[in-house]
């Protein structure tokens, strides 16, 4: 299934690529009935070589040389390249000024100068870029953007772009109304995206705090890291952080936020897939990847080498997507339960990351959908991985339930042990007190059990205990409790039962147990039991109201009665007399 998804994703990329070679029939942008258009294929460009040019020098260079037009909707020149000049023409065939917004849709470009020229006369010069504090930019917008009324006739637009970061220049020209609608649509899309991812992040953070399973915490960090990173590289974070921290502040912030979610994501994948158990070499590669690349980026920051750090950041991002797929495939080979869904999620995310990267690079058409493909991929991946974690959580809960059951169950008899008896017994006793009901406790001890062990061996002794436990369990109601209290001793708590009724019930049990036989190679073995009974009659026990007693005191009374049963000859039931010392009674001979 993962392979089919990969093929479909690649076919989608091929379709996008095949559509980007189509060139416009007219390079001049006609504003008649104009709504919105990307201008990569309408723009010629060249890069400065030795010194900074004025707009007049750039205009002469365009007039004298046959510089190429962009091959796609975005002009991409790589990282750390020389400043670039771009030129396109706009024609307004009407007599009225056309209100148009021009935007360069990558928010991290450092310095952008726009010159609008008509009849060789400079009409407007607009300066912007992320080097400016937010309040000094041409518009309160995450991208370089401005609005201008183009007069009737032909206008030339020259752009000079300078940046150390990725030189991706998707120029969009829109009517003001259309631009506002596009901004509103983007706001809704990002609101939905961030809302979904942050909700998943908080949910998994809560699961981590509850379970302390580290994959939930790492997944929460991974999602939150991606949201903050997306918030930064789309320029939205810098509408909030408006202080002037220098020309390359956004570039450095993008770089470090990029490695944050990549590192968290790789460690999440290690924890989820348990890579160390079956692929230790791959696991070490992942660990070292999350150490070496961030250290290299940090050293680049210390040396103020932005281009070096950005290259490492993009390499880490590419390696992150690749390692996700490799880890998924290796997990599938190791028959890890969640591997198939993980592969589907990672392949889809990798394809979407590739589409967004190629859109910024100008390989496929740049538009809202191709640029935001990475967000779509992340949402899909987040949903798939949330399903994986939900399955993992269910398995954890099942394991906890099994462990809880084993912790509260006697392994020999499958009835409650002392620990498993205590909590439900307290609840049952408190409910009886609250509802003014009687309650009875029986302590049952197998007579002369040590002799059985000595004469027939511990295997027969275990069979005797199992026979007794089965008989007692089959004799109780669903509302009663039974537990193995000690070696050969059992306890029963009888709900809504008086001491007198409990004594009669105990007598029936004693006779039933006396009739049991345990077959051995040397013959059958029978055994008897002694039973101590204690409880309330009409809500009074040993002269006290039941609400004045605790369950522990009632059990001590039953233990005293059991001691009297053993002392007076065994194989009998003794019930609590009117007076009870409410203390531990001496231990009788077994």
List, in sequence order, every residue forming a beta bridge with 37; answer none if it has no partner: 173
Range from 206-215, 218-227, 301-310, 507-516 that averages highest in pLDDT: 507-516
pLDDT attached to residue 139: 85
pLDDT attached to residue 360: 62
Task: Please give the share of the chain, as a percent, with pLDDT higher than 90.
Answer: 27
DSSP code per residue over 302-365: HTT-HHHHHHHHHHHHHHHHHHHHHHHHHHHHTT-TTHHHHHHHHHHHHHHHHHHHHHHHTSS-
pLDDT attached to residue 243: 57
What is the residue whose two structure tokens read 């660990």?
287
Helices H / strands E in the chain, number of each: 16, 21
The residues, ordered by sequence, that sit 6+ positions from 58 with a Cβ below 8 Å of its Cβ are 85, 87, 158, 160
Residue 590 above 70 pLDDT?
no
pLDDT attached to residue 584: 44
List, in sequence order, every residue forming a beta bridge with 174; answer none if it has no partner: 36, 101
pLDDT attached to residue 21: 43
Q: Look at 5-14, 180-189, 388-397 and tell me which has the smallest mean pLDDT.
A: 5-14
The residues, ordered by sequence, that sit 6+ positions from 534 with a Cβ below 8 Å of its Cβ are 440, 441, 499, 502, 541, 554, 555, 557, 558, 560, 561, 575, 576, 580
Q: Does domain 418-575 have CATH number 3.40.50.300?
A: no
Residue 446 CB-half CA count within 13 A: 28
pLDDT attached to residue 468: 92
Q: Per 3-state DSSP, what percentage of the chain is helix, strand, and coil (rounded to 5)? A: 55, 20, 25
List, in sequence order, every residue forming a beta bridge with 490; answer none if it has no partner: 444, 484
Residue 3 above 50 pLDDT?
no
Q: Tokens in use for 484?
A: 């193995």
pLDDT tens column, 336-352: 887 888 888 888 887 88
Q: Give the confidence band of 238 by pLDDT, cuts at 50, 70, 90.
A: low
Q: Give the confidence band of 236 by pLDDT, cuts at 50, 70, 90.
A: confident
Residues marked active site are found at: 488
In 409-546, which ranges are continuous DSSP H helix?
418-434, 449-456, 458-475, 499-514
pLDDT tens column, 4-15: 444 444 444 444
pLDDT attached to residue 354: 75
Residue 49 above 90 pLDDT?
no
pLDDT tens column, 239-264: 676 556 666 677 777 778 878 888 88
Residue 383 vs residues 337, 347, 386: alpha-carbon distances, Å? 17, 14, 5
Cα gap 491→419, rounded to integer Å: 12
Q: Rounded mean pLDDT of 159-164? A: 91
Q: Does domain 25-180 have CATH number 3.30.200.20?
A: no
Residues of the chain with CATH 3.30.70.270: 418-575
To the nearest whole number, what is the mean pLDDT of the chain? 83
Regarding predicted confidence, which is higher, 455 or 392? Answer: 455
Residues of the chain with CATH 2.60.40.2380: 25-180
Q: Rounded mean pLDDT of 145-167? A: 89
Q: Rounded mean pLDDT of 375-382? A: 81
Phi-psi domain of 558 (left: phi exceeds 0; alpha: psi -120 through 50; beta: other): alpha
């Amino acid at each position: 299934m993962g392979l089919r998804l990969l093929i479909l994703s690649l076919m989608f990329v091929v379709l996008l690529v095949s559509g980007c070679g189509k060139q416009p029939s007219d390079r001049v942008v006609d504003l008649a009935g104009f709504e919105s258009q990307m201008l990569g294929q309408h723009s010629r460009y060249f890069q400065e070589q030795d010194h900074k040019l004025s707009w007049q020098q750039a205009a002469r260079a365009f007039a004298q040389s046959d510089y190429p037009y962009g091959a796609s909707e975005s002009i991409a020149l790589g990282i750390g390249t020389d400043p670039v000049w771009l030129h396109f023409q706009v024609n307004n065939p009407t007599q009225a000024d056309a209100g148009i917004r021009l935007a360069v849709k990558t928010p991290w470009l450092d310095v952008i100068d726009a010159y609008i020229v008509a009849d060789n006369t400079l009409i407007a010069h607009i300066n912007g870029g992320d080097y400016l504090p937010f309040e000094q930019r041409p518009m309160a917008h995450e991208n370089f953007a401005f609005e201008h009324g183009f007069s009737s006739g032909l206008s030339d637009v020259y752009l000079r772009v300078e940046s150390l970061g990725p030189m991706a220049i998707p120029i969009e020209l829109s009517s003001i109304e259309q631009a506002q609608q596009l901004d509103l649509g983007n706001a809704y899309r990002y609101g939905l995206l961030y809302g979904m991812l942050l909700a998943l992040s908080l949910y998994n953070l809560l699961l981590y705090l509850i379970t302390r399973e580290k994959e939930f915490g790492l997944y929460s960090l991974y999602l939150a890291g991606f949201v903050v990173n997306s918030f930064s590289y789309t320029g939205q974070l810098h509408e909030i952080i408006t202080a002037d921290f220098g020309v390359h502040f956004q570039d450095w912030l993008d770089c470090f936020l990029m490695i944050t979610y990549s590192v968290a994501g790789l460690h999440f994948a290690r924890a989820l897939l348990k890579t160390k158990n079956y692929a230790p070499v791959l696991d070490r590669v992942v660990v070292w990847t999350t150490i070496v690349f961030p250290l290299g980026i940090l050293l680049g920051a210390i040396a103020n080498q932005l281009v070096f750090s950005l290259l490492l950041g993009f390499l880490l991002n590419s390696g992150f997507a690749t390692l996700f797929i490799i880890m998924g495939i290796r997990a599938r080979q190791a028959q890890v339960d969640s591997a198939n869904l993980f592969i589907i999620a990672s392949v889809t995310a990798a394809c979407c990351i590739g589409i967004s990267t190629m859109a910024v690079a100008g390989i496929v058409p740049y538009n809202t959908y191709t640029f935001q493909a990475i967000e779509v991929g992340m949402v899909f991946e987040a949903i798939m991985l949330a399903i994986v974690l939900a399955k993992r959580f269910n398995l954890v809960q099942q394991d906890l339930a099994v462990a809880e059951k084993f912790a509260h169950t006697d392994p020999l008899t499958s009835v409650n042990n002392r620990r498993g008896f205590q909590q439900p017994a307290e609840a049952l006793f408190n409910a009886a007190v609250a509802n003014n009901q009687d309650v009875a406790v029986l302590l049952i001890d197998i007579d002369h059990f040590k002799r059985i062990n000595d004469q027939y061996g511990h295997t027969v002794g275990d069979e005797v205990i199992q026979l007794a436990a089965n008989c007692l369990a089959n004799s109780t109601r669903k509302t009663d409790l039974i537990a193995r209290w000690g070696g050969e001793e059992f306890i029963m708590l009888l709900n809504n039962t008086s001491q007198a009724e409990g004594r009669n019930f105990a007598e029936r049990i004693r006779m039933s147990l006396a009739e049991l036989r345990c077959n051995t190679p040397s013959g059958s073995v029978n055994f008897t039991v002694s039973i101590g009974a204690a409880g309330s009659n009409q809500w009074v026990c040993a002269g006290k109201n039941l609400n004045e007693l605790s369950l522990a005191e009632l059990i001590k009374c039953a233990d005293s009665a059991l001691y009297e049963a053993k002392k007076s000859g065994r194989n009998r039931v003794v019930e609590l007399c009117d007076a009870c010392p409410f203390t531990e009674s001496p231990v009788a001979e077994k």
